[in-house]
Structure 1
Amino acid sequence: MSQPEQRRILATAIPGPTSVKLQEQRARELSDGLGVTMPVFVERAGGGIIVDVDGNHIIDLASGIAVTSVGASDPAVVRRISEQAERFTHTCFLVTEYDGFVDVAAALNRLTPGDHRKKTALFTTGAEAVENAIKIARTATGRPAVVVLGHAYHGRTLLTMSMTAKNVPYKQGFGPFAPEVYRVPSPYPYRWPSGPENAAAEALAALKDVVLTQVGATNVAAIVAEPIQGEGGFIVPPPGYLKAVQDFAAEHGIVFVADEIQTGLARTGAMFACDHEGVVPDLITTAKALAGGMPLAAVTGRAELMDAVPPGGLGGTYAGNPVACAAALGALETIERENLVARAAQIEERVLPRLRALAGPGSVVGDARGRGAMLAVELVRPGTTEPAPEIAKAVAAACHAEGVLTLVCGTFGNVIRLLPPLVIPFDLLDEAVGVLESAVRDAS
């Protein structure tokens, strides 16, 4: 099937009548615990457009939460999925092997930061990758404790939910939580109490205090950080902070884990967000963009760490599914062939100045930030830094009504995040940002 026409079309109100009818069926059949951002049902998608069942062409600034970076129907991904599905859909790699699993691992060993000897293990979801990174770090070090940042998001399993900072909706009512998880302040420049210029040094001092005096460095297996915090609000750490954390971890035999599930694979204008800071993590987790929409995740890291777990200690029935591996090889092919790292940087150059121009006296935009095609505006009550989640919700709703899909995030629920497919046509991107600008100005 050819790619949908790359043009915003409002054929009906959003949601349209067919989506509304399907939504009624969903309410009858599905758990209320499953949320929804934009209540439309999708007919097809590709490039920068989502076509719903009512014929609306919606500009996609979400990419399925940073998953479809190469587009929702990338030809290389579709071709490789089709070819693999005709051969076989599953064997379980732990039972009988296939070359796609090994080829994906080899690509990640080549692309991830650092020239040291690396090995990879494949899994299914991002949370599963983070959880296995902790298993590897604990086995390698013989230590129990894990240190994470404020505003962190690492997943919805018991351990990763414990590592996640935000209570509602991710933790409320789901305790008790996993033990030996310790939280340190996130260097959030916009909200750092003594000013953004002090965030790196003071946050680092707080981390060291927790590790050295409260937990004990000899008890810490891993420090886990998102190089740009995602669900927490697209928080870009101040320069030098991540490198200083990496150096401190190395000094004390602590495994430094970079959670690049949302930031990795060209999203931030570098192949990995760590590359912006010259950081070489001991372990790095990937998922989301890795397989162009198919469920696949990975832990890649120093060979001696990855080999610390005895045979049988890692894996899963669906880990590294052959169809997902085929999709990943297609997605990685497109990322490299189309130089989507550079494309993400161009998206930043095109969009971030427009977002920053929205801030100012009387505006609801307190801060505009991000890297590459991972950009955001933080909405506040004008003249203050007080979070305004109700304004963020209204701005998102206004964009949705005009056929532009945006996402809300942030610990305070007040950040509009933009995650367009890296292949989005620039005219569509410009139009979508224009809709967002109008919504923000109306709210201001």
Structure 2
Amino acid sequence: MALSVQRPKGTQDVVPSEVYKWHTVEHIVKDTAEQFGFREIRIPTFEDTGLFVRSVGDTTDVVQKEMYTVSATGDSTFTLRPEGTAGTIRAAIENGLLNEGYPQKLFYILSCFRHEKPQAGRLREFHQFGCEMIGAEGPAADAELIALAKSVIDRAGLKNVALNINSIGCPECRANYHKALKNYFSQYKDKLCSTCQERLEKNPMRLLDCKSEEDKALAEKAPIILDYLCPDCQKHFDGLKKNLKLMGIDYKINPRIVRGLDYYTRTVFEFITADIGAQGTVCGGGRYDGLIETLGGKPAPALGFGMGLERLILTMQKQGCEFMEPKTCDIYIAAMGERAAEESMDIISTLRSEGYFVEYDLVGRGLKAQMKYADKIGAKYVMVLGDNELDERKAKVKNMKTGEQTEVSLGETLLDDFAVCYYDTLMEEDEMFRGFVEAFVEKE
């Protein structure tokens, strides 16, 4: 019989056997961000719809086609966040973070929602790691942010990921570029999709980001923004290239990158791979110097990036990158009989209090079934408890990998005995446990 209720289209379940991959990338991005001086921020899942209209732009695909907007009786209209930057900047303004000194460095790991056609690397609910830096206007800040993103990619073990950079200028130099785009695309107006025909007058740069294959072909021969940069924007772009070279970061200048959101100014960049099909952008971002003022804050330069965790994991899988090992049971206590089951509670509590991952029977299995279950869950050791063990106050601990058995006391030296047993066989494999044992021995 088929399940009557299934997960919504464009979403996914992360089951226990796969969640270790998420733990891996979450550890990498968090550790790297903190190493670069970024602090974590957490923001609401939904915001006032006007926040995204004002920041992302009313001519973007995100606002026009992809946002999930909800309302409740007596409330304003809210939208599930389609990206993380707008909400983070709103939170920074509202909570006075901009008064704490510059630069403010913030990072987040959150879920986002866009109504798109699901495909590999593109979901309707997806997860994003993002970093935002507020108050730094020089090109060194742009290079620093790119270096952070590259460090995440390198630590994940990814290969063949190319950095593409561009400058889309400031409002002043973009005015002349908009005129050039209008002149170019006007001659093909009848060939443009209906959405781009509307954008032609309001925001012609959006035509460069259209997903229509016909419009993409036309955009290939359109004027490029780099030919229209004002002296200040050109100087900033040259400074970015210089800083990237000083950091030893290879890049490709790609004048077709404009990003899909209206708040960007000057620097835009993407890390692109060919290993996950059409959705090859692993990370994208840039500068948005006017966004804070647009949202009611005191004018301040800012920049940031977003990195899709699903795409990061997908690329790691495609390239055979390593993930951290799933955490498995350290010791399974197999009790035989009511007396053993009762006394095992104290043993289990003692081991857990010292940080061990301990499992035991909760469904009334026999000994043979318990041993099979312990093997199935990947228990490193099994301790069998019966009347003889309880009477003698000693038990055998079986190494499930080697089959070797070690005798341990059920008295005051239980922790010491098991620590030595565990240490001898797993010391070289388990870095976390090695630290625990060394600390334990030093303490004693």
Task: Using structure 1 for the length normalisation, give the TM-score.
Answer: 0.24
Q: Which has the higher contact order (CA 8 A, sep 6+)?
A: 1
Task: Using structure 2 for the length normalisation, give the TM-score.
Answer: 0.24
| Bigger CA radius of gyration | 2
